[in-house]
Amino acid sequence: MTPTAARAGVRAIAFALLACPITAQAQQPALRTALLSPGDVPDATKQPRSVAVLPVKAYLVQPGDLFAPEAAPARDLAGLAIQDAVLAALRSATYVEVVPPDGARQSLMAAPESAGRVQAAQAAYRMGLELYLGLSSARAVDKLRAASREFADSFADVFDPKSSADAQFMLGVALVDSGRPAEGHVAIKAGFAQQPDRRFRRDFFPPAAANALQAALTDLLSTVDPLRPYGDNQRMAALARKLGVGWLVLTSLRKGERGPVVSIAVYSAHKRLVEAEAHLPLDQLESRLEPFLSRWLACVPIDTTAVAPVSPLRVWTDMAVSWAPFLRQPTRRDFQSLGFAGGADVVLRQNLQWFGRVGLYTSVPDAYRDLLRSFNSVRVVTGLGGAGRSGPLRYFANLGVDAHLLGSFVTSVDPDCKLFGTEHRLCDRGSLLNLESQVLVGAHAAVGGQLHLGRDFVLAVRVSLSNYFLPLDGTDRLNRPLGVELGFGYRL
Amino acid sequence: MRAARIAVGRACDRVAKTLIALRSNTAGRPACLALFLALTVTTACSTEADLGGTWRGVTPLGAAPYDLLHGVDGSQVALELVIGEYGPDAAGVLRFFNGDAWLRARNPDPPDRQCGCALLHAGKVDAATAQAAFTLHGCLPGAADRAKLRTRGALRRTASGAILVLTVDEPGSPLHKRTSTIELEQTGGAGDIAEADLLCPLPLPTGNTASGQ
């Protein structure tokens, strides 16, 4: 970092600390926007803040100029200049992902339900217009009101303000024509709110409607909130959600006592309110816009994708009842092994864990009593696994090594050995299989999950299978223990 | 008991059907249910004839002169069959006692020192009919020459106990085809068999043992 950049960074930090609200300072004490110089490498774990810049609304047309379409449309150039200045200021900041007005328009137009809504609105508008021209104003009102609603719901005032405003204007005119001037005034005012720089040809409307248009524009200019040119906080929240952004930059241009004034508001979808606002003279925009946006960005936290570990290691322990039948066994009928197993999963990295478990088992006699005595065994398994999370469920798949110490494991199919004992003269010694005190070693695989119950307690389920291959001559009769475990655990 | 077995078998069928039905919808079922159902099926669905245990003759044998079994001096003989049932296999021992005081206490003295007991061989169990068949190799109390006889035994469970049919299958012996049908009652279950119940020492050697002849 160059000395100049360092000084700029320190100055920006000091500025941010002075400017940020107390809460913002506490949450985000370090300034992030100005600390990176062109030579610095951005932190890949930090997620850029998505900001959409909506089209500038210009409240420059005065009621007296409403029916003078030949008047110079000064707002176009000024609006574009404001828009470019805002975009340039945001794009120069780090960790900011800017959605320009054109991008916002395209995104809204490409929304799944948008095309259908707009088509329905246009059809309703055409029918309303025909009804109005056919002197059926009362019936036209219903159609035009439906068209206005569909346009508003699809946020057509952002990507096609003329069509949206036309529906409102025609609705207002139809209402006035129907003898409902108050409602007409509201509708026309709403039309001007969507397209405040609209002008009309002279003598296009009958005198009553023309007067209503002028009155509505007068009313709008005197009451409009320039910081909310696209509606209230609730509508902005819906718009931000539809655009998939965290912030909306709302700009408007209106006449001031000393010249045009640019009003800028930054709406936060997270907080659901305008968290920064400024009213800047148009001629000072260049010098004051970037500090304003920098001050706002300094107070906005940056989300990171990296997991901030609470402790260096996260340990999931559990204790479970376990059922472990052998898929390969020397007895003619299956015998069961029941017991308890406990262990821990130690999260080494985000999706990588080490696991270790110990199980104590005892056997349940088989139907033919080929297993001469119940035998106890101890299993130790360990290895590595992958883990993931989905809501309250943590799931994993483990691979490792299984060491199984057998207790007294003696089987025979000779009934004399079973009744009289293996030392009896009738017992056929050749029928005996003695695996007493052998240690079987092999590969182990397990899948399972831990369902979060509350606080740090979990319900743990695990299914495992091992295949022993050591000792080389001792695994052909007793092998492949299947394990099913159900228990409770605790996250340390 | 047999009715209970049949009931258990039917219950097992139902459990098995339930398990099959659950297989298509196990996602939302608690794992413990599957575990207990599996354990129930695997541990409770064993089919046995329930012949294992200790059986004793209801009445002493040898009262009639033509009985197959009787004491050396014509006294009565009591009988005890200790049998272990292991699926399709069976093992056990048939022991004989003096029958005088049988109903009050087991007399430790066998009626015939050389024919006090016989081990069961090749015991097979048919759980469907609750029967067991086996072979005895040894002399029978009352036989004149103490010769080893091959005797076939058939044990069949009845509503009140069991019936043991012994048939001598030793061609050339005067006892060949002789049969004795003995009514038994169960005095101990399979888990009550003690080591002492299984004692059946080899017959004492005959002849001049000092000279080795």
Contacts of A367 in chain B (CB under 8 A): 46, 87
Q: Is residue A249 part of a domain?
A: yes
Give start and end residues of each alpha helix (H) in B24-118: 31-44
Are A263 and A127 members of one domain? Answer: yes
Q: Is residue A241 part of a domain?
A: yes
pLDDT in tens, A89-111: 888 888 888 899 999 898 888 88
Banded model confidence at residue A389, pLDDT cuts 50, 70, 90: confident
Are A261 and A399 members of one domain? Answer: no
Q: Which of A340, A477, A341, A489 is nearest to A409 (CA)?
A: A477
What residues contact residue B29 under an 8 Å CB cut-off, 6+ apart? Answer: B22
Q: Which of A302, A295, A266, A261 is nearest to A96 (CA)?
A: A302
Are A272 and A236 members of one domain? Answer: yes
Are A335 and A276 members of one domain? Answer: no
* Chain A 401-420, residues with CB within 8 Å of chain B CB atoms: 413, 415-416, 418-420
pLDDT at A42: 60
Contacts of A370 in chain B (CB under 8 A): 86
Are A12 and A148 members of one domain? Answer: no
Give the span between the Cα atoms of A420 and B121, in whole angstroms: 13
Q: Is residue A355 part of a domain?
A: yes
pLDDT in tens, A451-480: 888 778 889 999 999 999 888 676 677 888
pLDDT in tens, B162-176: 999 999 888 888 888
pLDDT at B193: 87
In one-letter notation, the amino acid at residue B36 is F
Cβ–Cβ contact A486 with B under 8 A: yes
Q: Is residue A385 part of a domain?
A: yes
pLDDT at A144: 93
Nearest to A336 among B32, B42, B92 (CB): B42
Last residue in a domain, options A41, A56, A72: A41
Whether the per-residue pLDDT at A70 is higher than 70: the answer is no
Residue contact A486–B42, C-beta within 8 A: no
- A425 Cα distance to chain centroid: 76
Contacts of B91 in chain A (CB under 8 A): 415-416, 418-420, 426
CB burial string A228-247: b at 16+ within 10 A, e below: bbbbeeeebbebbebbebbb
Whether the per-residue pLDDT at A2 is higher than 80: the answer is no
Give the span between the Cα atoms of B213 and B204, in whole angstroms: 13
Give the span between the Cα atoms of B18 and B34, in whole angstroms: 10
Strand partners, A379: A359, A404
Structure-token match 């035994």, residue found: B153
Contacts of A325 in chain B (CB under 8 A): 42
Whether the per-residue pLDDT at B82 is higher than 60: the answer is yes
Cβ–Cβ contact B31 with A under 8 A: yes
- A303 Cα distance to chain centroid: 12
Are A60 and A34 members of one domain? Answer: no
How close A465 comes to chain B (CA, Å)? 16
pLDDT in tens, B128-155: 888 999 998 887 777 666 678 889 999 9
Q: Which residue of A has its CA nearest to B90?
A: A415
Nearest to A368 among B38, B86, B193 (CB): B86
Q: Bigger pLDDT: A313 or A331?
A: A331
Give the span between the Cα atoms of A307 and A285, in whole angstroms: 40
Cβ–Cβ contact A484 with B under 8 A: yes
Are A155 and A248 members of one domain? Answer: yes
* Chain A 312-331, residues with CB within 8 Å of chain B CB atoms: 321, 323, 325
CB burial string A4-20: b at 16+ within 10 A, e below: ebeeebeebbebbeebb
Interface confidence (ipTM) of the complex: 0.72
* Chain A 443-462, residues with CB within 8 Å of chain B CB atoms: 461
Residue contact B35–A334, C-beta within 8 A: no
B115 token code pair = 């024919």
Q: Is residue A303 part of a domain?
A: no
Angle B94-B99-B103 from CA coordinates, rounded to 5°: 100
pLDDT in tens, A160-177: 999 999 999 999 989 988
B138 token code pair = 């040894």
In one-letter notation, the amino acid at residue A429 is R
Least confident of A64-73, A116-125, A215-224, B39-48: B39-48
Are A359 and A285 members of one domain? Answer: no
Q: Which of B146, B88, B149, B90 is nearest to B120 (CA)?
A: B90
Nearest to B42 among A332, A334, A484 (CB): A334
- Taken as a whole, chain B contains a residue count of 213
Most confident range (mean pLDDT) of B21-30, B36-45, B66-75 is: B66-75
Mean pLDDT (whole number) for A110-125: 88
Whether the per-residue pLDDT at B208 is higher than 90: the answer is no
How close B56 comes to chain A (CA, Å)? 18
Residue B73: Cβ within 10 Å count:
8
* Residue B121: exposure state from Cβ atoms within 10 A (0-12, 13-18, ≥19): middle
In one-letter notation, the amino acid at residue A313 is L
Nearest to A484 among B35, B43, B123 (CB): B35
Contacts of A426 in chain B (CB under 8 A): 91, 119
* Cis previous bond, A471, omega within 30: yes
pLDDT at A9: 43
Give the span between the Cα atoms of A452 and A345, in whole angstroms: 15
Torsion of CA A305, A306, A311, A314, to 10 degrees: 80
Give the span between the Cα atoms of A190 and A171, in whole angstroms: 10
Give the span between the Cα atoms of A48 and A57, in whole angstroms: 27
Last residue in a domain, options A298, A325, A345: A298
pLDDT in tens, A333-377: 888 889 999 999 998 887 889 999 999 998 888 888 888 888 888
Question: How many structural domains comprise chain A?
Answer: 3
How close A409 comes to chain B (CA, Å)? 18
Average pLDDT score, chain A: 83
Are A58 and A196 members of one domain? Answer: yes
Whether the per-residue pLDDT at A397 is higher than 90: the answer is yes
Strand partners, A304: A46
Residue pair A105/A56 in contact (Cβ under 8 Å)? The answer is no
* Residue B138: exposure state from Cβ atoms within 10 A (0-12, 13-18, ≥19): buried
A383 token code pair = 């290895």
Nearest to A364 among B31, B43, B91 (CB): B43
Structure-token match 């006035």, residue found: A176
Strand partners, A383: A355, A400
Banded model confidence at residue B32, pLDDT cuts 50, 70, 90: very low
Structure-token match 């223990």, residue found: A481
Range of the domain at A31: 1-41
What residues contact residue A35 under an 8 Å CB cut-off, 6+ apart? Answer: A9, A12, A13, A94
Mean pLDDT (whole number) for A131-158: 89
A53 token code pair = 């810049």
Residue contact A367–B119, C-beta within 8 A: no
HSE-CB at A47 with a 13 A cutoff on CA atoms is 11
pLDDT at A11: 44
Q: What are the start-end ranges of the E strands in A311-435?
A: 314-323, 326-328, 336-347, 352-364, 376-390, 393-406, 410-411, 433-434
Whether the per-residue pLDDT at B12 is higher than 50: the answer is no
Structure-token match 């696209």, residue found: A230
Q: Is residue A472 part of a domain?
A: yes
Three-state DSSP class for residue B19: helix
Question: How many beta-carbon pairs under 8 angstroms link A with B?
Answer: 52
pLDDT at B174: 81
Last residue in a domain, options A238, A267, A298: A298
CATH of the domain at A420: 2.40.160.20
Q: Which of B195, B180, B209 is nearest to B62 (CA)?
A: B180
Are A103 and A195 members of one domain? Answer: yes
Angle A227-A232-A234 from CA coordinates, rounded to 5°: 135
Cβ–Cβ contact B26 with A under 8 A: no
- What are the φ and ψ backbone dihedral angles of B86, each rounded to 5 degrees? -130, 85
pLDDT at B103: 52
Give the span between the Cα atoms of A215 and A10, in whole angstroms: 53
Whether the per-residue pLDDT at A313 is higher than 80: the answer is no
pLDDT at B113: 60
Residue contact B31–A418, C-beta within 8 A: no
Most A-contacting residue of B33, B86, B135, B195 (CB-CB within 10 A), to test interface: B86
pLDDT at A452: 85
Q: Is residue A305 part of a domain?
A: no
Residue pair A468/A402 in contact (Cβ under 8 Å)? The answer is yes
Cβ–Cβ contact A333 with B under 8 A: yes
pLDDT in tens, A399-439: 999 998 888 788 888 998 988 888 888 888 888 888 777 78
Q: Is residue A309 part of a domain?
A: no
Give the span between the Cα atoms of B15 and B20, in whole angstroms: 9
In one-letter notation, the amino acid at residue A460 is A
pLDDT in tens, A291-310: 888 888 888 877 766 555 44
Whether the per-residue pLDDT at B42 is higher than 70: the answer is no
**Cα Rg of chain A, angstroms:** 38
Are A94 and A194 members of one domain? Answer: yes
Are A325 and A439 members of one domain? Answer: yes
Residue contact A415–B46, C-beta within 8 A: no
